[in-house]
């Protein structure tokens, strides 16, 4: 099994995906263990002094003014975890919880948190055992860390609360730890706080969204090309020299992908035939501009994620010169902004995708296709309601595009008086990514049927490869009305698992 070694300098997006989705094992590097031990010595020295140090010998948040005596400090660390494990609502997904733990482990291993090596090792052991703490939807304001979600993870390390075992059964966390030979941690000074103070949930969801959207944007280029082909549009607008004079890299990549899909098509260029038109509609002609802007947004979000993956987010932090200093690095604004920005791009890509689908179904704008791509229009309704479903999804995505990070709500007796809402931004982006997958799947279903209805014209080799793979996946071609929901679900899976892009790339080579 693949192993990810966590050192002191952070992790990569590939590391995150390998652990949270691929089940890779986690190991601590010798350098990380040494850094953990060195920073712990600093914390122990400060704990032995009479002067109060935030997070070591004081209360937390608005209660930071109280100095905690040595005999109460272990209880203090246990109590912060127990009291902060106050999430409510549905359980979040297993991959999100694994991201929470793995990214918190990444920061622990930086040597800036002051926890003992055995705490970090226990977290690695829990990940490797496939134990997943139960974490709830609500409880993070995206500042002072994803507090409630991370607290539920820390609670499981202590052998308390509930967790899901590798077999999917939910049991008391203590039982699961014992079954895998893992001793619960007994927290000492600063360790409870260090387990809670990070942007790990929102960052993990950002990394996963970036991976999903990378595939979806390539998928959307493919379906846009199929729609252009089905509408007998012109591919001249995709010429590289046209996109070079407006040098946005995402736009050029999207146009190049569409051009690659359309190479050798016998359907393009017929826009001057029976019903001459000078230009294709914006939803067709401007597809690279819209998808390209989204790609450039992905690039910006990826840069933010890379910086955050290299960061050590905790408060207070242990510095190399021996100081333990408070800071505000746990504020989720940098991550929250790009999560919201991506949701806006997703909504717009879905919107232009739906407009192409609607055009395919409208006999007044589809340039010779039957109404709603029906077999016997009037007797058959064709894909009329498939477009309704797509439109409902687009409307939902527009609502999800409202920024969470533009909101703030004070907490902790006004000590934490401005928060990022980054966790909320991440949660709604996950919903938006799912919605976009379905929107693209409906365009694929409609465009594939429309291409097949263009009798006497030969589609591009890449298009033929898509049609063949789609039919082999159990998605049928044109014909009388049938129970449509299973067909759309199969098309969704075809997009989601990457088979659409794979079918094209077997002909065109890698898409950009």
d(CA 96, CA 82): 21
d(CA 508, CA 252): 17
Contact at 8 Å (CB) between 349 and 250?
A: no
User: Is residue 454 classed as helix, strand or coil in its secondary structure?
Assistant: coil
From the candidates 54, 282, 388, 483, give the one annotated as an active-site residue: 54
User: 């899976």: which residue's tokens?
Assistant: 493
Measured N-to-C along each axis, helices 117-129 and 30-47 cross at an angle, to the nearest 10 degrees, of: 130
User: Is residue 3 classed as helix, strand or coil in its secondary structure?
Assistant: strand
Which whole-number Å values give the CA distances from 433 to 322, 404, 452, in the listed order? Answer: 44, 16, 29
* Cβ-Cβ contacts under 8 Å for 510 (sequence gap 6 or more): none
Number of helices and strands (H, E) in the chain? 19, 9
Verify whether residue 282 is a known catalytic residue: no
Burial of 320 (0-12, 13-18, 19+ CB in 10 A): exposed
d(CA 460, CA 266): 7
* Cβ-Cβ contacts under 8 Å for 83 (sequence gap 6 or more): none
Contact at 8 Å (CB) between 383 and 372?
A: yes
Contact at 8 Å (CB) between 146 and 154?
A: no
d(CA 191, CA 44): 11
Q: CA angle, 488 as apex, 485 and 489 as ends, to 5°?
A: 85
Contact at 8 Å (CB) between 190 and 80?
A: no
Which whole-number Å values give the CA distances from 406 to 4, 201, 302, 394, 494, in the listed order? Answer: 36, 19, 21, 22, 36
User: Is residue 90 classed as helix, strand or coil in its secondary structure?
Assistant: strand
Which whole-number Å values give the CA distances from 507 to 260, 378, 445, 504, in the listed order? Answer: 9, 38, 20, 5
d(CA 132, CA 164): 5
Closest CA to 407 of 396, 428, 421: 421
Q: Where are the alpha helices (DSSP H) in 163-245?
A: 173-179, 191-194, 200-230, 240-244
* Cβ-Cβ contacts under 8 Å for 3 (sequence gap 6 or more): 24, 25, 26, 27
Start-to-end C-alpha separation, the chain: 30
d(CA 162, CA 153): 10
Catalytic residues: 54
């Amino acid at each position: 099994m693949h192993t990810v070694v966590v050192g002191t300098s952070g992790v990569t997006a590939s590391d995150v995906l390998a652990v949270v989705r691929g089940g890779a094992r986690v190991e601590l590097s010798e350098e990380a263990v040494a850094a953990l031990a060195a920073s712990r010595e600093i914390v122990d020295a400060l704990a032995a002094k009479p002067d109060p140090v935030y997070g070591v010998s004081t209360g937390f948040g608005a209660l930071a003014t109280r100095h905690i005596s040595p005999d109460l400090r272990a209880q203090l660390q246990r109590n912060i975890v127990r009291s902060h494990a106050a999430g409510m609502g549905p359980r979040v997904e297993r991959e999100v919880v694994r991201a929470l733990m793995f990214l918190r482990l990444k920061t622990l291993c930086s040597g800036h948190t002051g926890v003992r090596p055995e705490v970090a090792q226990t977290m690695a052991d829990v990940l490797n055992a496939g134990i997943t703490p139960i974490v709830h939807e609500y409880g993070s304001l995206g500042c002072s860390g994803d507090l409630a979600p991370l607290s539920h993870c820390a609670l499981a390390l202590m052998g308390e609360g509930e967790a899901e075992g590798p077999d999917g059964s939910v049991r008391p966390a203590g039982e699961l730890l014992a079954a895998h030979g893992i001793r619960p941690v007994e927290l000492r000074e600063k360790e409870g706080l260090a387990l809670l103070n990070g942007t790990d949930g929102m960052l993990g969801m950002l990394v996963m969204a970036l991976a999903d959207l990378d595939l979806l944007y390539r998928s959307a280029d493919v379906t846009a090309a199929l729609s252009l082909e089905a509408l007998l549009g012109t591919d001249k607008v995709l010429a590289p020299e046209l996109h070079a004079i407006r040098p946005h890299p995402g736009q050029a990549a999207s146009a190049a992908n569409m051009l690659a899909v359309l190479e050798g098509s016998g359907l393009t260029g017929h826009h001057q035939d029976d019903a001459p038109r000078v230009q294709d509609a914006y939803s067709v002609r401007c597809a690279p501009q819209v998808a390209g802007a989204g790609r450039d947004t992905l690039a910006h979000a990826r840069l933010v994620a890379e910086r955050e993956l290299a960061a050590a987010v905790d408060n207070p932090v242990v510095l190399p010169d021996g100081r333990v200093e408070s800071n505000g690095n746990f504020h989720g604004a940098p991550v929250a902004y790009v999560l919201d920005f991506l949701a806006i791009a997703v909504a717009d890509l879905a919107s232009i995708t739906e407009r192409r689908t609607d055009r395919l179904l409208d006999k007044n704008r589809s340039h010779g296709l039957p109404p709603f791509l029906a077999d016997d229009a009037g007797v058959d309704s064709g894909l009329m309601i498939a477009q309704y479903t797509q439109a409902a999804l687009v409307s939902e995505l527009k609502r999800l595009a409202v920024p969470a990070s533009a909101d703030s709500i004070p907490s902790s007796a006004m000590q934490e008086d401005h928060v990022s809402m980054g966790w909320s931004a991440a949660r709604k982006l996950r919903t938006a990514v799912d919605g976009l997958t379905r929107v693209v799947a409906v365009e694929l279903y409609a465009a594939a049927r429309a291409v097949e209805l263009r009798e006497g014209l030969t589609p591009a080799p890449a298009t033929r490869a898509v049609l063949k793979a789609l039919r082999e996946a159990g998605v049928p071609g044109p014909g009388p009305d049938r129970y449509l929901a299973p067909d759309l679900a199969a098309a969704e899976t075809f997009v989601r698992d990457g088979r659409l892009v794979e079918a094209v790339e077997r002909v065109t080579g890698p898409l950009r």
